[in-house]
A and B are shown apart, each in its own frame.
Chain A
């Protein structure tokens, strides 16, 4: 655990879950020098706590007794850009997508390991601390020079179409964050293409063939089944 908070103080983390067992588990797992957990058991309590404590990160369960988790996200997003990680059970991809489209930054499928959770939190915190995007993004052997629009793999430059480059840039600048299909389609192709998912599939496929060593086992652009894509982030 390295420096979760810029000021060397414990990072305020808002944990929203209606299950006491999970709240207790998360509190125990996260309560150390680096984190100061604040607990909320429903949507209204969560919104109140968010206003009162101004958390630096929010862990939000979607299945809340009093209001829809997506609604909580929407209301938070009206005044705050705090990173939100959604905790959700399996097989609710549609919920995850709705949460991400509403402004959540990432999701974790229950049950999850603490190591995985900490890694996601770290990525989020680092992203929120980042003031301006780095001009050059390096992941393993891939290098993206945003200033010069240059992409190289193991030093060899890769020829990308403008769309592929835009796609890669979007993913890479949001490294670690899950981007839903809709979000990507909207940003690269515009709203007219929201219902044309094959455009995205084909471009991702082409992009992988150009930058991945083995397109069948991608290392940079990871697929989140039924949700979207995530650019690998070294954490």
Chain B
């Protein structure tokens, strides 16, 4: 697929950007649902009880925190040790 068709049509390009963004959101929802299901769900009951729901909410928030923490820390390590990225590439 060459990208020229998309760049030639701004309307289509905008559409693709929005849809890609939505798709990244959906993909992360699938992923977090799976991860948090393992953490929070015992035996599936007739309804989602409030304790389990709170667990899911906390699980999502902490998953995002973890992802941001790791990203920040990697950035810091990279800054303090300028050779970090090079050593990864070696």
- Chain B binds chain A: no
Q: B-contacting residues of A (Cβ < 8 Å)?
A: none
